Amino acid sequence: MLVDLHTHSTFSDGRYTPTQLVEMAARAGIGVLALTDHDSVNGMEEAQQAAQTVPNAPQVVAGVELGAQAGENSVHILGYNIDIHNEKLLSKIEEMRHAREHRLHRMLAKIGALGYHITVEDCDPKNRAVGRPHVAKALVAAGYFESVDEAFEVLLRRGKPGYEPQPKLSPEEAVELLHGAGGIAVLAHPAELENLPLVEMLLKNIPFDGIEVYHPSADEKLQQHFAQLAQKYNLLTSGGSDFHGVEGRFPEQLGVFKVESSKVDIIKTMIK
């Protein structure tokens, strides 16, 4: 069975609604789909409803991707099987989305001073965890850049003139929140940290339950390395495509990056 345990919808920076994701997953023959929007579980109800009505729908797992910060490094943490009504989790991610809106204003002022003029509305922040991807998309739509990637490279990456940090949780806090909501916590796309000693330090010191071994950012050699770390630290292996449906960002379709359920032992905690 194919699974995809890392996807984004219109409730964060994905292009498609939760219903569309479920439909696409059904067409791609995906059996288990986790919706893991950034700092939001607001798409979950729609996804779970679609799972009831769409023919051949996958089982939908309640997930979230929390943005955390370890020093200079942005650490993403996936939560699964979470209680989406847990008050502590809900109020914290709401607070984070709110901080994102404030940051959007700061970011727009900053790039406006540099001659790039887009509005809050251009970034379509309503009911989303709004972030740099939305700003990048608006900049492309306004004709300032050819691609989202270019907007990041020139303006939005850390160290570039439009960069504005987003207040983030510590990894410890994020894992605690997920555990408090009855969920399991997985270190997302460790290859994106580009710092193997840091990966190991995080796994050693923070009570993660799993590690995302299979992700487009990890080549086969890194996957092997992460699978070994999973063994060493007694962690569940996980995997997903990190599908956003955004042009120029791999994968462009759901089901292109394939994860076999037999490779990800986290699936045992999900199958009903």
Give the binding site for ligand AMP (CB under 6 A). 13, 67, 131-133, 148-149, 152, 166, 249
Placement of tokens 């965890």 in the chain: 129
Range in contact with Zn ion (rule: CB under 5 A) among 2-10, 83-91, 166-174, 196-204: 2-10
Report the alpha-carbon distance of residue 183 to residue 171 in Å, rounded. Answer: 15
- Residue 230 CA to its chain's centroid (Å): 20
Contact call for residue 132 and Fe ion (CB under 5 A): no
Report the alpha-carbon distance of residue 28 to residue 148 in Å, rounded. Answer: 26
Site size toward Fe ion (CB under 5 A) is: 3
8 A C-beta contact, residue 17 and residue 44: no
Q: Which is nearer to Fe ion, 249 or 258 (CB)?
A: 249
- Calculate the alpha carbon distances from 266 to 205, 220, 229, 271 in Å: 20, 20, 15, 9
Contact call for residue 46 and Zn ion (CB under 5 A): no
Q: Which residues contact 187 (CB under 8 A, 6 or more apart)?
A: 75, 77, 78, 199, 202, 203, 208, 210, 211, 212
**Partner whose footprint covers residue 168, from Zn ion, Fe ion, ligand AMP, none (CB < 5 to 8 Å by kind):** none
**Residues in region 39-68 near Fe ion by CB under 5 A:** 65
Q: Which of 6, 9, 10, 13 binds Zn ion (CB under 5 A)?
A: 13
Contact call for residue 39 and Zn ion (CB under 5 A): no
Q: Which residues contact 122 (CB under 8 A, 6 or more apart)?
A: 138, 141, 142
Q: Which of 46, 166, 242, 246 binds Fe ion (CB under 5 A)?
A: 242
Contact call for residue 215 and Fe ion (CB under 5 A): no
Contact call for residue 76 and Fe ion (CB under 5 A): yes
Residues near Fe ion (CB under 5 A) are 65, 76, 242
